[in-house]
């Protein structure tokens, strides 16, 4: 047998034990907050989803029909308003589900009056409820039939604490003040007083005076009328005026305190003097975000625990019944700001390479691209399967910048050299200081500092370099990708002609390189950079690692040492800054690059070697070799005078071989042996090795030019 508790209601707290106190809505001051909160909750719509992710909505279901019409007397709005009204008035709200059996869904829902509900306590917990205890219509309810929604009450295990109970003293003051003010108006608009007479009044005279005062001066129509006394009568005040009681100010403070107990801004209950928000809009927003919605969360959780499992299909799928705030006008601006912040955060994660495109789309509730498993690193898009390899390459320490090239070359603008190879052969030069490679010497001003380093590099073409160069950084004409630094020309014993010949042969057999810029990086200061931090553009050039390793192998095979040969990662230094200075740029544009020349830099002199002159198809090579053999036969039979005449037309020079055959050699590609012979006053005839400095394709091109 359970123990029945007393029925806790809001008419138990009158300090005067006035039965009229039991009429809850007589309390105007708490009535306003209760109406506000109940009205807010009643206007919020509800939706049903398949699970808590809310990814798929259930638009038709018996639960939705029941929620739309909980019982025959009210709809959703009135039902929720009643639930919240009871909850805020008594601290407890009871929902009853009318079911035919424990295995069937409810037919109706009712919000029961909390002052009529008694809780039955079992051995460990609540064992049931009795509604209308003490009356002939009392009804017992099982625990499963009733949903009990309550505010926390830390000294009561079963009933919730009502906000009205907390504010009971304030409510007493308000109601007593209202009653007193009403009586004051009914009693001639004056406080209690006494009339005295110097003489003796008979009973008849006293009755006549009393009736005359009531008739002429009581009631609201006679309020403030002047009082005329006769027969030596005087009037004396016996109580305090409303002003002396400071009743008006006390009334305002009470309203403010009651509103704070209900967690409602004073301006929403008519107290403009005590407003806490800049405007009504902000106050209404706070009513939702700080008050109504957290309580709606509690109500929703109870409904999902109690009502939703009554439907077997919803219970099996883990359905989720919740309220929808998307149509609440006062919240739209807040949600738009939140949405904008989410977009900015997701975009930042995508731009930082921390989020794949498809994940970013999913976070923003956008259509997901099935091929969107890609990352964005800088301006480069990388597929998921290539991300680890790209990261591994990025973690590899780039080669240290060559010390001799740490300073800009300071070339005058008029001497900037276009790195694009010439389409026509160079005209013959009279100077004898150029050999089998075309020399492009870029001299600095006489008063400029000279560079003494020797390096092999790939220089960016003029157009790309101009786009990549930054303000106060390395000149566009100096932007390059170092392949190998050989040292200071004054400190190493280097056979320059042999090195040129090696580079010419290597370049002619290699394939041109293509790639693009891929990001920005920064080296730590070092001695080679004079204590400055190099800021560089990282590059993605397929095949450059093999291109360099093959070059280094050939250099080492020729006993040419590579200085500062760190683990190599290609990069292009843009600027040198102090170690404590911030990086001047956040990123670099994505620029396509093509390298068809290999460069040798000796101090301020630069020499270029065309890349890929021998890279043609074997079938084409066979054809050209066959044509060249025919050319040699043709020249061997041609009279020498005709050859001389042909030479003068084409700026070519005959070469008398030991086997009496002739080869066409450009004056601009004389070998070092020819230069040394000229300087020594010897023969100007080219050496036998000069033939090797022209590829078959070059010879064929020159011959065809001669014939035309």
pLDDT exceeds cutoff 90 at 661: no
Most confident region among 265-274, 375-384, 646-655 by mean pLDDT:
375-384
Point out the least confidently predicted range of 92-96, 135-139, 361-365, 516-520: 135-139
Distance of CA 501 to the CA centre of its chain: 55
pLDDT reported for residue 230: 61
pLDDT exceeds cutoff 60 at 410: no
Helix, strand, or coil here: 429?
Answer: coil
With both helix axes pointing from N to C terminus, report the angle between 28-42 and 293-306 in degrees, rounded to the nearest 10.
60
**Cα gap 693→687, rounded to integer Å:** 11
Point out the least confidently predicted range of 210-224, 253-267, 379-393, 561-575: 210-224
pLDDT exceeds cutoff 60 at 336: yes
The burial of 701, by beta-carbon neighbours within 10 Å (0-12 exposed, 13-18 middle, 19 or more buried), is given as middle
User: Half-sphere exposure (CA, 13 Å, Cβ side) for 498?
Assistant: 9
Stretch 506-516: mean pLDDT, rounded? 91
Count CB neighbours of 682 within 10 A.
Answer: 11
pLDDT reported for residue 599: 94
Q: Which residue matches tokens 């309220």? A: 323
Question: Please, are residues 195 and 233 in contact by the beta-carbon 8 Å criterion?
Answer: yes
Strands 380-383 and 57-58: unpaired
First to last CA, the chain: 122
pLDDT reported for residue 613: 62
Higher pLDDT, 290 or 240: 290
**Cα gap 468→61, rounded to integer Å:** 63
Question: Please, are residues 556 and 549 in contact by the beta-carbon 8 Å criterion?
Answer: no
pLDDT reported for residue 219: 61
Residues 18-69: tens digit of each pLDDT: 333 343 444 445 556 676 677 778 888 999 999 999 989 999 999 999 999 9
Stretch 11-21: mean pLDDT, rounded? 40
pLDDT reported for residue 678: 39
**Which residues make Cβ contacts (< 8 Å) with residue 249, sequence separation at least 6?**
none
pLDDT reported for residue 280: 74
Residue (of 356, 354, 389) closest to 373 by Cα position: 356
Tokens of 265: 């801004």
Confidence at 627, pLDDT banded by 50, 70, 90? low
Residue (of 512, 510, 574) closest to 539 by Cα position: 574
pLDDT reported for residue 449: 47
**Cα gap 708→703, rounded to integer Å:** 9
**Cα gap 7→17, rounded to integer Å:** 16
User: Residue 230: left (phi > 0), alpha (psi -120 to 50), or beta?
Assistant: beta
pLDDT reported for residue 623: 58
Confidence at 677, pLDDT banded by 50, 70, 90? very low
Residue (of 256, 519, 258) closest to 393 by Cα position: 519
User: Half-sphere exposure (CA, 13 Å, Cβ side) for 515?
Assistant: 22
Higher pLDDT, 214 or 150: 150
pLDDT exceeds cutoff 50 at 653: no
Question: Please, are residues 98 and 108 in contact by the beta-carbon 8 Å criterion?
Answer: yes
Stretch 657-669: mean pLDDT, rounded? 40
Residue (of 360, 415, 356) closest to 382 by Cα position: 356
Dihedral sign for Cα 148, 154, 155, 160, please: negative
Question: Please, are residues 609 and 421 in contact by the beta-carbon 8 Å criterion?
Answer: no
Count CB neighbours of 53 within 10 A.
Answer: 9
pLDDT exceeds cutoff 50 at 253: yes
Question: Please, are residues 187 and 238 in contact by the beta-carbon 8 Å criterion?
Answer: no
**Which residues make Cβ contacts (< 8 Å) with residue 381, sequence separation at least 6?**
374, 375
Higher pLDDT, 628 or 565: 628
Q: List the Cα angle 29/34/39 in 5-degree steps.
A: 130
**Which residues make Cβ contacts (< 8 Å) with residue 680, sequence separation at least 6?**
none
pLDDT reported for residue 351: 87
Question: Please, are residues 344 and 482 in contact by the beta-carbon 8 Å criterion?
Answer: no
Q: What are phi and psi of 425, to 5 degrees?
A: -65, 145
Over the chain, what is the mean pLDDT? 74
Confidence at 420, pLDDT banded by 50, 70, 90? very low
Confidence at 528, pLDDT banded by 50, 70, 90? confident
pLDDT reported for residue 28: 47
Percentage of the chain beyond pLDDT 70 is 63
Tokens of 314: 């919803």
With both helix axes pointing from N to C terminus, report the angle between 168-186 and 28-42 in degrees, rounded to the nearest 10.
120
pLDDT exceeds cutoff 80 at 156: yes
**Cα gap 269→170, rounded to integer Å:** 15
SS3 for 435-456 is: CCCCEEECCCCCCCCCCCEEEE
Point out the least confidently predicted range of 116-130, 476-490, 540-554, 564-578: 564-578
Question: Please, are residues 687 and 703 in contact by the beta-carbon 8 Å criterion?
Answer: no
Tokens of 640: 């020498």
Q: List the Cα angle 218/221/225 in 5-degree steps.
A: 70
Please give the C-alpha separations between residue 411 and each of 162, 234, 302, 469, 479, in angstroms, as whole numbers. 86, 116, 79, 15, 12
Confidence at 105, pLDDT banded by 50, 70, 90? very high
pLDDT reported for residue 153: 86
Instruction: Find the helix or strand (DSSP H, E) in which 486 lies.
Output: strand 480-488
DSSP secondary structure of 308-339: GGGSHHHHHHT-EEEEE-TT-HHHHHHHHHHH
- Running DSSP on this structure, what letter comes out for residue 568? P
- Running DSSP on this structure, what letter comes out for residue 116? G
Q: Which residue matches tokens 């095949």? A: 543
**Cα gap 220→186, rounded to integer Å:** 6
Most confident region among 92-96, 182-186, 675-679 by mean pLDDT:
92-96
Confidence at 244, pLDDT banded by 50, 70, 90? low
Instruction: Find the helix or strand (DSSP H, E) in which 637 lies.
Output: helix 618-637
**Cα gap 460→474, rounded to integer Å:** 13
Question: Please, are residues 86 and 114 in contact by the beta-carbon 8 Å criterion?
Answer: yes
pLDDT reported for residue 26: 47
Stretch 193-204: mean pLDDT, rounded? 71
């Amino acid at each position: 047998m359970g123990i029945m508790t007393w029925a806790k209601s809001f008419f138990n707290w009158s300090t005067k034990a006035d039965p009229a106190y039991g009429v809850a809505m007589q309390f105007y001051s708490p009535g306003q907050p209760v109406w506000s909160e109940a009205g807010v909750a009643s206007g919020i719509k509800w939706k049903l989803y398949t699970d808590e992710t809310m990814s798929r909505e259930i638009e038709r279901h018996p639960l939705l029909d029941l929620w739309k019409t909980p019982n025959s007397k009210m709809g959703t709005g009135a039902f929720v308003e009643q639930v919240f009204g009871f909850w805020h008035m008594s601290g407890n709200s009871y929902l009853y589900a009318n079911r035919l059996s424990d295995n069937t869904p409810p037919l109706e829902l009712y919000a029961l009056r909390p002052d009529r509900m008694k809780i039955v306590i079992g051995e460990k917990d609540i064992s049931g409820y009795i509604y209308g205890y003490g009356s002939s219509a009392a009804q017992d309810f099982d625990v499963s039939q009733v949903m009990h929604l309550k505010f926390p009450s830390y000294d009561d295990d079963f009933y919730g604490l009502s906000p009205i109970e907390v504010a009971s003293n304030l409510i007493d003051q308000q109601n007593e003040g209202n009653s007193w003010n009403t009586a004051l108006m009914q009693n001639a608009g004056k406080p209690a007083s006494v009339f005295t007479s110097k003489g003796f009044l008979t009973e008849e005279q006293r009755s006549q005076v009393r009736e005359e005062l009531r008739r002429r001066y009581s009631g609201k129509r006679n309020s403030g009328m002047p009082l005329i006394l006769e027969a030596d009568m005087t009037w004396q005040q016996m109580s305090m005026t409303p002003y002396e009681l400071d009743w008006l100010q006390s009334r305002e403070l009470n309203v403010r305190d009651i509103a704070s107990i209900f967690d409602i801004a004073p301006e929403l209950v008519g107290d403009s003097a005590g407003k806490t928000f800049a405007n009504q809009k902000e106050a209404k927003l706070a009513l939702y975000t700080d008050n109504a919605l957290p309580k709606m969360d509690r109500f929703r959780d109870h409904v999902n625990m109690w009502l939703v499992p009554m439907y077997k299909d919803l219970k099996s799928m883990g359905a989720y019944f919740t309220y929808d705030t998307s149509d609440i006008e006062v919240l739209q601006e807040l949600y738009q700001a939140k949405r904008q912040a989410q977009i900015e955060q997701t975009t930042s994660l995508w731009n930082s390479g921390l989020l794949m495109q498809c994940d970013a789309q999913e976070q923003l509730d956008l259509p997901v691209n099935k091929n969107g498993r890609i990352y964005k690193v800088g301006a480069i898009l990388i597929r998921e399967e290539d991300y680890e390899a790209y990261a591994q390459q990025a973690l590899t320490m780039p080669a240290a910048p060559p010390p001799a090239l740490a300073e800009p070359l300071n070339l005058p603008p008029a001497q900037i050299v276009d790195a694009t190879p010439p389409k026509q052969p160079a005209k013959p030069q009279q100077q004898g200081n150029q050999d089998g490679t075309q020399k492009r010497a870029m001299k600095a001003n006489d008063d400029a500092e000279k560079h003494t380093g020797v390096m092999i590099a790939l220089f960016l073409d003029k157009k790309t370099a101009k786009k990549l160069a930054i303000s106060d950084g390395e000149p566009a004409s100096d932007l390059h990708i170092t392949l190998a630094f050989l040292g200071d020309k004054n400190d190493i014993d280097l056979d320059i002609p042999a090195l040129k010949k090696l580079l010419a042969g290597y370049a002619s057999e290699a394939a041109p390189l293509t790639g693009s810029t891929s990001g920005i990086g920064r080296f730590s200061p070092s001695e080679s950079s004079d204590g400055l931090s190099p800021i560089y553009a990282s590059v993605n050039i397929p095949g450059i690692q093999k291109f360099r390793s093959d070059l280094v192998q050939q250099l080492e095979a020729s006993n040419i040492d590579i200085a500062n040969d760190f683990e190599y990662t290609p990069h292009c230094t843009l600027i040198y800054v102090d170690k404590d200075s911030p990086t001047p740029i956040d990123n670099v544009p994505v620029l396509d690059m093509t390298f068809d020349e290999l460069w040798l830099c000796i101090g301020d002199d630069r020499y270029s070697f065309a890349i890929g002159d021998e890279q043609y198809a074997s079938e084409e090579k066979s054809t050209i070799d066959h044509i060249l053999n025919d050319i040699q036969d043709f020249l061997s039979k041609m009279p020498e005078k005709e050859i001389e005449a042909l030479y003068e037309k084409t700026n070519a020079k005959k070469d008398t071989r030991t086997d009496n055959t002739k080869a066409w050699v450009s004056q601009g590609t004389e070998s070092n042996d020819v230069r040394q012979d000229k300087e020594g006053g010897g023969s100007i005839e080219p050496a036998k090795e000069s033939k090797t400095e022209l590829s078959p394709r070059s010879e064929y091109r020159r011959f065809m030019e001669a014939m035309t």
